[in-house]
Structure 1
Amino acid sequence: MPDISITRTSPHSLYAHLHTRDSRLDLLHAYGFDVAGNAEWAVLHTSDALLLPTARRLVAELHIAGLDVAAEAGLAPSRPEIESARRVAMTKALARANDALHTWDTESESLCDERGWPLDGESYGQRRAELDRAAWEAFTTFLTHGLPLLEQAERTRERLSGDHEQAAGYILSRMRASLTRGVIVHADAERVLAYLRNADGTPTDEAAYAHAVETRNSEGWHAAYEWMLHGEALVTLAAAGAEVPTPLDAAPSLGGAAAVTSEAAPGRRSTGRR
């Protein structure tokens, strides 16, 4: 078959995007893609027909990431494939957030005394801020893709009855509340951050900008934690509500996300602050 090619020309480097996300460039080489590019463009190609599902997955992932991708005929993602890519993105984001939370739960023990109070308030606060940042960065995936996923999940809920319908309804209500709160936090923070940015995007005051970012991450924690608790169930409902099954769900993943757990971590470390 002819080579599968994916190209993009933009001031923002697709090549850099592939290189920095999940060591994806190395994975693409491992899968058998030849990759060439520089700061302005990238080309991926292979003559292996078995890589077509993976190539289509990549195009869909780049599409939902907001990148302008030009692909050869046969690679343009369909609506079911885009829906599948959204679910994959959510699963990977949940894995990152849960990894950060599990690390915090382990490390926070050493930062507290036997009564659970921080031994060093500054060290504890800095480490907590790192958790907030990691959680918010992962949570932005839900802010981007939450509405379409909720629409898919709603299609599933409508086919359920009894206790199953009530359980699905509860999950969707919590996810809508999480999304609403997250959007409000994001919008409020962006108004402040926009005021603190120069025309070229650099901060007018680095300390003030950093404080505004940290405040956003902190205020977004409870919405992000709600998403972490119920996000896996939302992905499951959304997958069941997909209009047409797609082979992308079985295609090799380019991200290698870890398994996601919805188990609530201990409350004093995970849901609350001192």
Structure 2
Amino acid sequence: MSASSTPPSSGDNQLPQATDPLAWRRHLPALATAAAGINEACDAWDAVSDSLCDADSWPLDDKVYGDGKVKRDAEAWKHAEVFLDHGPEVLAGVRAAADGADYVEGPISDDLRRIRGIDTILIRAEELRHEWNQVMALMDGSQPSVLHLYQERAEEHRNTEGWHYSHELGYKGQALVRVGEYLAHRADTERLAQTERARVALTRSTHNTTAASPASPSVTPASHPPTLGHSR
């Protein structure tokens, strides 16, 4: 008895979907929010930090001053992690979409210069996050009270070490978002223009083909036979 063949699944006959070269732009809103969050945390601290120090810039109360920095660093790092999750894809997309002229002059040339080095910042910040994850993995299985204590200290250390990266991402991240939005809009405009040119060309080709076609021969109506006269 011949073996029964398994009917192909519906997905077997589906054509592979084309990859959207602008798929990275879906992350731009998240990066814009993250950059704004980092800068808000920085501005909030700057607004009160001077009042917490004496004329020589020494903290009036070390604990109050330290707690303020801890809060700033934690808030900034929370937003910096958004860049670690989505920034590399956006950065790769931006570099693929930008051409040489964009770096020399034009509306995004300054921002393209601002984002130089952002890939290094992302790498270093990701290394810091990886180190923290390793520390937490080593603490797995500890008593809850001990785990909570070490986790809190490890988070504070990570956030403090990551403040420099967070601060840089707040500045460079805004430039990356502006560049991404410009390049995505330009690509959309070029795509629409290309589609319109193709439509016009197709319309012209169809019109020319119709005009060049030979006219169909007219059908001569059948002549009626002569009417026979009535005999008298």
Which bin holds the TM-score, normalised by the shorter protein?
0.5 to 0.7
| Distance 1:151-1:190 versus aligned 2 partners, 3 A rule | same
Is 2:184 aligned against 1:207? no
The residue that corresponds to 2:46 in the other structure is 105
Rounded to whole Å, the distance in 2 between the matches of 1:166 and 1:84 is 19
Residue correspondence of structure 1 range 177-188 to structure 2 within 5 A: 177-188=120-131
Is 2:32 aligned against 1:85? no
The residue that corresponds to 1:174 in the other structure is 117
Quick one: which of 164, 172, 177 aligns to 1:235?
177
Note the C-alpha offset of 1:151.
1.4
Is 2:91 aligned against 1:150? yes
Residue pair 2:115, 2:173 contacting (<8 A) in 1 also: no
Rounded to whole Å, the distance in 2 between the matches of 1:138 and 1:203 is 28
Residue pair 1:133, 1:214 contacting (<8 A) in 2 also: yes
- Report 1 or 2 for greater relative contact order, CA contacts < 8 Å, sequence distance ≥ 6: 2
Higher strand content, 1 or 2 = 1
The residue that corresponds to 1:138 in the other structure is 79
The residue that corresponds to 1:251 in the other structure is none
Q: Which runs of 5+ in 2 are unaligned?
A: 1-18, 190-232
TM-score, structure 2 normalization: 0.64
Q: Counterpart of 1:96 in structure 2: which amino acid?
A: G
Rounded to whole Å, the distance in 1 between the matches of 2:112 and 2:104 is 11
Q: Counterpart of 1:180 in structure 2: which amino acid?
A: I
Residue pair 1:143, 1:183 contacting (<8 A) in 2 also: yes
Is 2:144 aligned against 1:196? no
Partner secondary structure for residue 147 of structure 1: helix
Runs of 4+ in 1 over 6 A off after TM superposition: none
| Distance 1:117-1:79 versus aligned 2 partners, 3 A rule | farther
Quick one: which of 159, 163, 183 aligns to 1:221?
163
Rounded to whole Å, the distance in 1 between the matches of 2:179 and 2:113 is 12
Note the C-alpha offset of 1:133.
0.1
TM-score, structure 1 normalization: 0.55
Note the C-alpha offset of 1:96.
1.5
The residue that corresponds to 2:230 in the other structure is none
| Distance 1:123-1:142 versus aligned 2 partners, 3 A rule | same
Q: Counterpart of 2:48 in structure 1: which amino acid?
A: E
Rounded to whole Å, the distance in 1 between the matches of 2:95 and 2:134 is 32
Residue pair 1:197, 1:204 contacting (<8 A) in 2 also: no
Q: Deviations over 1:5-25 (max 9, x none)?
A: xxxxxxxxxxxxxxxxxxxxx
Q: Counterpart of 2:125 in structure 1: which amino acid?
A: G
Q: Which runs of 5+ in 1 are unaligned?
A: 1-77, 247-274
Rounded to whole Å, the distance in 2 between the matches of 1:236 and 1:80 is 18
Residue pair 1:100, 1:135 contacting (<8 A) in 2 also: yes
Higher helix content, 1 or 2 = 2
Rounded to whole Å, the distance in 1 between the matches of 2:103 and 2:170 is 25
Q: Deviations over 1:104-142 (max 9, x none)?
A: 011112211112111111111111000000000010110
Residue pair 1:94, 1:228 contacting (<8 A) in 2 also: yes
Rounded to whole Å, the distance in 2 between the matches of 1:239 and 1:114 is 44
Residue correspondence of structure 1 range 237-252 to structure 2 within 5 A: 237-242=179-184, 244-245=187-188
Name the count of aligned residue pairs.
168
Q: Counterpart of 1:240 in structure 2: which amino acid?
A: Y
| Distance 1:203-1:222 versus aligned 2 partners, 3 A rule | farther
Note the C-alpha offset of 1:220.
0.7
